[in-house]
């Protein structure tokens, strides 16, 4: 999450901050946040606005300054990247899980590997399953799949 910001990304954050800072005083107040969210088609209740402010307002002064805004955006970007990565993994898992059971069997693994041009023996397939199968049920669930492809 502490990946260095590119110059271009920093400029994007500054431009966005200026859009949020309607009165140009260098901070975003709760009423400005409400207006911007509404204009983006994401109206928020007073409670939701207060929660957002609490999360972003690191120094607790009741406003979001540029540094706090940049940190909030970095965290948001990191979360989106993580979510995108997980979504890709889920889509890949579903390609292997041809029957939609939530688990990859040895026959499903063999079938997909053959489609990819890898003609593995049954013992090679079983070895792959055994390597990834943390709970010992003879199949690979999503969590086991993630661990397997992350190695």
131: CB partners within 8 A, 6+ apart: 148
CB 139 within 8 A of CB 103: yes
140: CB partners within 8 A, 6+ apart: 96, 103, 104, 109, 129, 132, 133, 148
72 in the same domain as 14: yes
**Which pLDDT value is given to residue 39?**
73
Q: What is the mean pLDDT of the chain?
A: 89
Per-residue burial over 30-67, b = 16 or more CB atoms within 10 Å of its CB, e = otherwise: bebbbebbeeeeeeeeeeebeebbeebbeeeeebbbee
**Which pLDDT value is given to residue 72?**
82
Q: How confident is the model at residue 110 (pLDDT cuts 50, 70, 90)?
A: very high
Please report whether residue 92 resides in a domain: no
**Which pLDDT value is given to residue 138?**
96
**CATH code: domain of residue 50:** 1.10.238.10
Residue 121 lies in domain: 97-150
72 in the same domain as 21: yes
Q: How confident is the model at residue 84 (pLDDT cuts 50, 70, 90)?
A: confident
- Whether residue 126 is predicted with pLDDT greater than 80 in this model: the reply is yes
Please report whether residue 71 resides in a domain: yes
User: How many domains does the chain contain in total?
Assistant: 2
Please report whether residue 60 resides in a domain: yes
pTM for this prediction: 0.54
Please report whether residue 35 resides in a domain: yes
Please report whether residue 90 resides in a domain: no
25 in the same domain as 74: yes
11 in the same domain as 53: yes
């Amino acid at each position: 999450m502490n990946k260095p910001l590119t110059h271009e990304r920093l400029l994007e954050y500054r431009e966005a901050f200026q859009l949020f800072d309607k009165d140009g005083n260098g901070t975003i107040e709760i009423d400005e946040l409400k207006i911007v969210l509404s204009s983006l088609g994401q109206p928020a209740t007073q409670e939701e606005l207060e929660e957002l402010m609490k999360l972003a307002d690191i120094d607790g002064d009741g406003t979001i300054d540029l540094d706090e805004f940049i940190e909030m955006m970095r965290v948001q970007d990191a979360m989106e990247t993580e979510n995108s990565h997980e979504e890709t993994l889920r889509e890949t898992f579903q390609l292997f899980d041809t029957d939609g059971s939530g688990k990859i069997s040895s026959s499903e693994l063999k079938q997909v590997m053959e489609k990819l041009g890898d003609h593995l023996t049954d013992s090679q397939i079983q070895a792959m399953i055994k390597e990834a199968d943390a709970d010992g049920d003879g199949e690979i669930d999503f969590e086991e799949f993630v661990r397997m492809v992350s190695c």
